[in-house]
Chain A
Amino acid sequence: MEKRRRFDPAVVRLLVWSGIVLLLLVLAWVGPRFIHHDPYEVNLLQITARPSAEYLMGTDYLGRCTLCRLITGAARSIYASLAVVAITFIIGTAIGTVCGFIGGAFDTVVMRFVDAVQAFPSLVFTIAIAAMLGSGMGNCIIAMSCINWTQYARLSRSQVLQVKERTFVKAARTTGMTNRQILFKTILPNSMTPLIVSASMHVGNTILGFSGLSFLGLGTMPPFPEWGNMLNDGKATLQTAPWTVIFPGLAILLVVMIMGMFGDSVNEALNPKKNTN
């Protein structure tokens, strides 16, 4: 009998979630072309209008369409937070992994530097760097990356220290593997799980972090929309027009959930133990 080819369910899930993330990125890019209202147009006759057929998600305190502003701000919020997470994840993981693997004086010096960076209140430090670099999303991305890499460095170092003591890593040394092979083929894949989970949770926090910087005039400048900023603006009308907060909040939640599920599927595809049941 001919054997039907079975696809690994974990790989299928990874493909599905990769597709959804890709769709999200494309929608954020092309979405602004399909909106019916000008997201910057102030309409004093429609201030905090309820959701209706014309304004599906209502309007904000200046009568601007919430849906149009959400769509317009999507690219800015999603791409910027993904950029911060990607930069901090790569730099932090690389530094932490090398420290954990090499150990000794190099590890001590680098980790004390990490301690020093973490000793500052992160928001104050980010604001200081962003203020020094000047306003704009690019500078905010750099400022936030300067601080946030430390959490990945610490996490990846602790993971590597744990994994490198396990028998299979010691066994790998006796199988003719070079240090580089041991690091990339054995230690790194086995240390990734908490890092991926942490990164996927980090996307939402970063979107909110940008709103803090924008509020201080360092990130997105008004009238350009950005999700964190929209949440911030909506706070004043929370009781009279809750939709100004609910919809940006739901948008952030949706992105965090999608990124969380994507992170889980990556983790599942990398971990053969999970997909046996």
Chain B
Amino acid sequence: MNAVEVENLKVSFYSHKSNSFVHAVDDVSFTLGENEFLGLVGESGCGKSTIARMLMGLQIPDGGTIRIKGKEIKPPYPHNVYKQIQMIYQMPQDSFDPRRKVGTCITEIQSNFGVNKREARDFTMHLLTRVGLTEEYYNKYPHEMSGGECQRAAIARSLSLKPDVLICDEPTSALDVSVQAQVVELLAQLRKEMKLGVLFISHDLALVQGLCDSVMVMYQGKIVERGSAKEITQNPREDYTRKLLSSVLLV
């Protein structure tokens, strides 16, 4: 069974600039396997993050269906859907409440889903060490941590409910290159350990090709091409994919 099945998903926004509706996501269908690492690449404004928001129930689609583990879900999502699907955000420090300790936030999610507080705290400590932080980080505020540390804590938070699906919305774009590599490596390890279906959204084609099993290329709200990472990078079928590949910076 696929972890996520999306069919004919669409949403449009009214643009005051052009005085018309812009199809941000236009009839998009795809599946994400149970242990698949699926990349979603495309230029800014092509609708990648809108797909992520719709999958998380933060944006109501105009049409289409979303199924998680075969079960159709419609926003506003019931409480327990978030036990199956979690997300890592682009700006790690802004994804934590600035007035609350990181450990409290991670523990609270588990308590919200009925885990006893003591167990939740112990599991939070375990997760923090697993993502490469120490137990001391439990009592730190987001502003006391670096971007990379905060993103690790965000990963720990998203894994605290042991979800089946993890959406990573450009999780490395706000980090410097050395930290990016550490975070990506961590995600790759965790995916193997936890049997996660991961939708990895990124601008960085080079990063996606090294990390993902398969890649979808998105352009102007549509998925224009999908294939294995190797196929996409070595034999792109679409002109847009070729253009995207040729724009990768080589140092």
Interface set of A (CB-CB < 8 Å, partner B): 166-168, 170-177, 181, 185-186, 189-190, 270-273, 276
Answer whether residue B137 sits at the interface, using C-beta atoms and an 8 A cutoff: no
Other A-B contacts than A168-B98, A177-B108, A177-B112, 6 sampled, CB-CB below 8 A, are: A168-B95, A171-B87, A175-B108, A176-B112, A271-B99, A272-B98
Interface set of B (CB-CB < 8 Å, partner A): 56-58, 79, 82-83, 86-87, 89, 91, 94-100, 105, 108-109, 112-113, 141, 143-144, 157
Bound state CA distance, A29 and B223, in angstroms? 73
Of the residues A174, A177, A272, contact of B58 by C-beta under 8 Å:
A174
Question: By the criterion CB–CB under 8 Å, are B97 and A170 in contact?
Answer: no
- Nearest-neighbour CB distance to chain A for B125, whole angstroms, equals 18
B89: A residues at CB distance < 8 A: 167, 171
- Nearest-neighbour CB distance to chain B for A246, whole angstroms, equals 42
23 A-B pairs with CB atoms under 8 Å apart are A167-B89, A167-B91, A167-B94, A167-B95, A168-B94, A171-B95, A171-B96, A172-B97, A173-B58, A174-B56, A174-B58, A174-B86, A175-B108, A175-B112, A175-B157, A176-B109, A177-B112, A185-B100, A189-B99, A270-B99, A272-B141, A273-B98, A276-B144
Bound state CA distance, A174 and B144, in angstroms? 24
B86: A residues at CB distance < 8 A: 174
Question: By the criterion CB–CB under 8 Å, are A175 and B97 in contact?
Answer: no
Question: By the criterion CB–CB under 8 Å, are A272 and B94 in contact?
Answer: no
A186: B residues at CB distance < 8 A: 97
Question: By the criterion CB–CB under 8 Å, are B113 and A176 in contact?
Answer: yes
Bound state CA distance, A172 and B157, in angstroms? 11
B109: A residues at CB distance < 8 A: 175-176
Residue on B nearest A272 in the bound complex, by CB:
B141
Bound state CA distance, A123 and B235, in angstroms? 76
- Among A170, A175, A276, max chain B CB count under 10 A is at A175
Question: By the criterion CB–CB under 8 Å, are A272 and B97 in contact?
Answer: no
Bound state CA distance, A274 and B7, in angstroms? 48
Question: By the criterion CB–CB under 8 Å, are B97 and A168 in contact?
Answer: yes
B108: A residues at CB distance < 8 A: 175, 177
Of the residues A167, A174, A272, contact of B82 by C-beta under 8 Å:
A174
Residue on A nearest B144 in the bound complex, by CB:
A276
Question: By the criterion CB–CB under 8 Å, are B143 and A273 in contact?
Answer: yes
- Nearest-neighbour CB distance to chain B for A184, whole angstroms, equals 12
Bound state CA distance, A200 and B113, in angstroms? 40
A276: B residues at CB distance < 8 A: 143-144
B96: A residues at CB distance < 8 A: 168, 171
Question: By the criterion CB–CB under 8 Å, are A174 and B87 in contact?
Answer: yes
Bound state CA distance, A173 and B112, in angstroms? 11
The 3 A-B pairs with the shortest beta carbon distances in the complex, nearest first, are A176-B112, A175-B109, A167-B94
Bound state CA distance, A276 and B142, in angstroms? 12
Residue on B nearest A169 in the bound complex, by CB:
B97
Residue on A nearest B94 in the bound complex, by CB:
A167
Bound state CA distance, A276 and B144, in angstroms? 9
- Nearest-neighbour CB distance to chain B for A194, whole angstroms, equals 15
Bound state CA distance, A171 and B82, in angstroms? 11
Residue on A nearest B83 in the bound complex, by CB:
A176
A185: B residues at CB distance < 8 A: 97, 100
A167-B91, A176-B113 known; A190-B98 Cβ under 8 A: yes
Bound state CA distance, A174 and B82, in angstroms? 6
- Nearest-neighbour CB distance to chain A for B173, whole angstroms, equals 14
Bound state CA distance, A22 and B89, in angstroms? 45
A166: B residues at CB distance < 8 A: 94
- Nearest-neighbour CB distance to chain A for B60, whole angstroms, equals 13
- Nearest-neighbour CB distance to chain A for B194, whole angstroms, equals 18
- Nearest-neighbour CB distance to chain A for B170, whole angstroms, equals 12
Question: By the criterion CB–CB under 8 Å, are B97 and A176 in contact?
Answer: no
- Nearest-neighbour CB distance to chain A for B74, whole angstroms, equals 15
Residue on A nearest B87 in the bound complex, by CB:
A174
Residue on B nearest A273 in the bound complex, by CB:
B143
Residue on B nearest A167 in the bound complex, by CB:
B94
B56: A residues at CB distance < 8 A: 174
Bound state CA distance, A181 and B79, in angstroms? 13
Question: By the criterion CB–CB under 8 Å, are A190 and B97 in contact?
Answer: yes
